[in-house]
Structure 1
């Protein structure tokens, strides 16, 4: 709108309506999801393949086979013997050399400076000696296997032996052992302090998370479904911290044991083995994680597309529920149940697409477990599937809604909840009854609140029957019953109540009073007031509420025809008394 005030126009901008903003938000989400789908088109073509190959096939290299037999000193490998001489094979030669080196290392009187290499021309060998004691002999076959000159090979092995002998003697020295003891004490103190710090930190974390529970820790939602409340998120976080604490304890104990074993020469070999196990496990995990990154990216794309697809569906069905979007033949109360069904279908489809890219999906163990779980679900969930199907059918039959007063078989009450599996009803006596949907579908359902849900449905009729004798004029009975309805609360005067004479029995007439009501949940109270008012109005009109029974004897009894229909000179018949003379005996 633009208003002219003097020479200056005053422009007032009208804000866009809420409906237009909602539609704009819908189209933005739709366009974003469409662009995402187009970007992932090439990746999505893999869905149609009958067999999904990994995005990256890790190169598996054959383990390098070490040739020959190792020569060891303690737990260290010095070199390997790769050839045999005459009848002496590699294992025998390596064993003999290892024993000689061990004797040399333990004999501290023999200095490593006595080590020498002598080239024996007669035997065509190069010998490594300490003083006059032979340690190892190397022939031309060893040089050929190593790809080196025989003398150079012997000199190389001499230097290796010298270094390892010095390391071995230093490791078994008193000073080194005392240092190992000192290092063990220090490591023990650090371990105990670490345990103490971890145990003291967990209660503080517990108190801090509890204090933040109602402030900045939200509930956990996935695709709009609340999986965990904020309290449950805190509880789960605390359990995760406990697992981390236990894992930290085990890791510290492992590191501590490895360190203590490495401080002493007798156990250094075990320490190296433990470290090798951990290094191998970590390397395998890291390598597998790196190889799995492309599949992980594909799963992330699936989650992203699925999330925005569900957001679009949710917005669309919410607009239908608010009746901002109308589809002929599709009712507003169907919106949320239909969205839940679509949500399940979308999630199942996304799980099927992502399944081949899960870790270990191609392994026989994973496939076997999947088949076993599917078999268990198919055998054990037949009743659950029947209830889900029945709940879905009842949703689209519009048999009742939450809050309606209904009757299912022998159960009458108000609907508290309606899920895919069960229907919960609160009876008139505040009893909570849970009925499986399959049982609900197989029973007849009486809905007393349909008129409140559908304006085109006429109001509920409350009715009760009273029996009176033929001596009471029916017009008078009609008037009395209508007067009783007029003073009864929760009944409607429009449409007008009416009376039906349902039967003419042998001794009385059955009158059925029918009254309309728009408050079906107050039926017990309305019936009680109606019965009280019928009693009061009948007493005021001198009508005795009873169902008389007659015999065929008319003498001395008033006829049951109402007095209005009798002639003016009508008098009740008198009793006839006959005197029968006594019979004589013959």
Structure 2
């Protein structure tokens, strides 16, 4: 049994040692030299001072010289300590001292391990005899610890400890995966419950799904960082369980723990600023909620602001909210970490330059959007004409206005163009009569004008959508070469149905004139044909023939 455990421990040590010897370049690469430290100082430090490290524990530092650099001297002492430790399994180590012309020699179990010189005493600023005793005690403890850490009991204990860390890491991975799945399910529910007003406040420019996706991304990034941090510490603790890899484990722990501690200290030092930022955010939210209550009261009619129209409530609230948030940002910037750094100031200047150089059209459209909202020349549902585009207003946004054309096309018009163009609104009522719809027909000079006018008015009366009061009327618009141009005018309040009303009016005009055997001579006329173009008898016979055929088929 003991032999099997020993074999397992040896196999684990070999695997872990191979892996972490490959990863050794990471901590070595992390030992960067400060920019302001001269290269000469670093070389002198490595040459004249080096630590003696056994199983990750630093015993003491040795002074070197140009002939025998400190790293080489420390390596020789380490080799001697390992030789003495592996030469015997005894629990006790005999340490003796011997004076020499170079210093005090230290022997362990009769083998010279080190020599303490006056330079070493000067390095530690202690008496030579005292520093020799301290070095001897450190050597004794390191040899005894080296032997104890390589016993069968120590290897079994290390294997059990590594297995415990592995099980703990497996449980950690299960928790991370559970949190990942829970985040995917719960984020959208949370956003829809607590941030449902965001879509309304931004006119659905910001969707709840987009907010949920951003929150999921941030939380998953935090989970990923926690996972890698846990994996790093897991490997470090596994290596720490075995004496052969303990040195690498301590290096890994040192190089990760120091940055983490620095970050933690930075966060702790910024707690007063974080409290101030939280206070500013709380006051801002409180002010915004107060404004919401006030504007709701204005919209309900509790407060009378004179000529302030109700449809101005929501845009005015949004503008006021943006102003309050900007003021809060001005107060919060000094408390943001790194706000006084040159990088933050340079970024601020860059953002300002980008906005000033590239946002002229954006700003003009935003200002035009505000004018459109407050001028209220158009409203949602109005049928308007802008240039060649005719359609119903379906949405008025800060940057653009959306029209749905009469052909069911969605037209997006920048608000700056809306401000700089002539807008014809077919839905707004300038008085109680409504819009004046008109069309022109040309009738020959031989037809009595009273008859023609009566037929046109009759066609207008037959048309749904044209008002009976005020009465339709006829104007003579031109005395052309072959005909008189009569213009029939009728009032309507259905501005959104003008194409359909005009089509019905044209149909009724043709029907009335055909009933009275009057030829419409527009758009052009050369001469009367000898026979009517479509005799009434032929048309009636053709229609009756088709009706009989349909009856026979049925």
TM norm structure 1:
0.70
Listed as ranges, the matches of 1:139-288 within 5 Å are: 146=124, 148-192=126-170, 194-195=172-173, 198-199=176-177, 202-203=180-181, 219=196, 221=198, 239=217, 242-243=220-221, 245-288=223-266
Partner of residue 416 from structure 1, selected from 384, 394, 399:
394
- 2:270 counterpart SS class: helix
CA contact (8 A) 1:112 1:130 kept: no
Q: Which 5+ residue runs of structure 1 have no aligned equivalent?
A: 1-64, 552-586
Pair 1:392-2:373 in alignment: no
Q: 481, 490, 494: which is aligned to 2:456?
A: 481
**Deviation of the 1:159 alpha carbon:** 2.0
Q: Which residue of 1 aligns with 2:534?
A: none
Matched length: 481
Deviates most, 87-96 or 526-535: 87-96
Does residue 1:515 correspond to 2:482, yes or no?
A: no
- Checking the alignment, whether the CA contact within 8 Å between 1:220 and 1:230 is kept in structure 2 is no
Structure 2 Cα separation of the partners of residues 101 and 167 of structure 1: 11
SS at match of 1:450: coil
2:243 aligned counterpart, secondary structure? coil
Return the index of the structure with the highest Cα Rg: 1
Whether the 8 Å CA contact 1:220–1:229 is kept in 2: the answer is no
Quick one: structure 1 residues 220 and 492, their matched pair in 2 at CA, closer, same or farther if it must change by over 3 Å?
A: closer
Distance 2:208 2:322 in 1: 25
Q: Please give the secondary structure, in 1, of the residue aligned with 2:463.
A: coil
The residue number in structure 2 matching 1:468 is: 443
- Displacement, 1:195? 3.7
Q: Secondary structure at the match of 1:486?
A: helix
Q: What SS does the corresponding residue of 1:420 show, helix, strand or coil?
A: coil
The structure-2 alpha-carbon separation of the partners of 1:321 and 1:515, relative to structure 1 and needing over 3 Å to count, comes to farther
What residue in structure 1 maps to residue 510 of structure 2?
535
Aligned to 2:521: 546
Q: Is the 8 A contact 1:125 1:139 kept in 2?
A: yes
Q: Does 1:450 align with 2:431?
A: no
CA RMSD of aligned residues (A): 3.9
Which residue matches 1:73? 54
Superposed, 1:328-477 pairs within 5 Å as 328-451=306-429, 456=431, 458-477=433-452
The answer (yes or no) to whether the contact 2:93–2:144 under 8 Å persists in 1 is: no
SS for the counterpart of 1:306 is helix
Q: Which residue of 1 aligns with 2:535?
A: none
Q: Deviations over 1:320-339 (max 9, x none)?
A: 44555444554433333333
- What are the superposed Cα offsets for residues 421-455 of structure 1, whole Å, 9 maximum, x if unpaired? 1111111121111122233333321101111xx6x
Equivalent residues of 2:473, 2:489 under 8 A apart: yes
**Structure 1 SS opposite 2:437:** strand
1:219-240 CA-to-partner distances (Å, cap 9, x unmatched) read 3749955786665566556555
355-364 or 189-198, which moves further after superposition?
189-198
Q: Which position in structure 2 is the counterpart of 1:501?
A: 476
Equivalent in the alignment of 1:296? 274
- Unpaired runs of 5+ residues, structure 2, are 1-41, 528-554
Q: In the alignment, is the contact (CA less than 8 A) between 2:95 and 2:106 conserved in 1?
A: yes
Task: Kindly provide the CA deviation profile for residues 204-261 of structure 1, in whole angstroms up to 9, marking residues without a partner as x.
Answer: 6756778x67996663749955786665566556555644553454234222311222
Contact in 1 for aligned 2:438/2:487 (Cα 8 Å):
yes
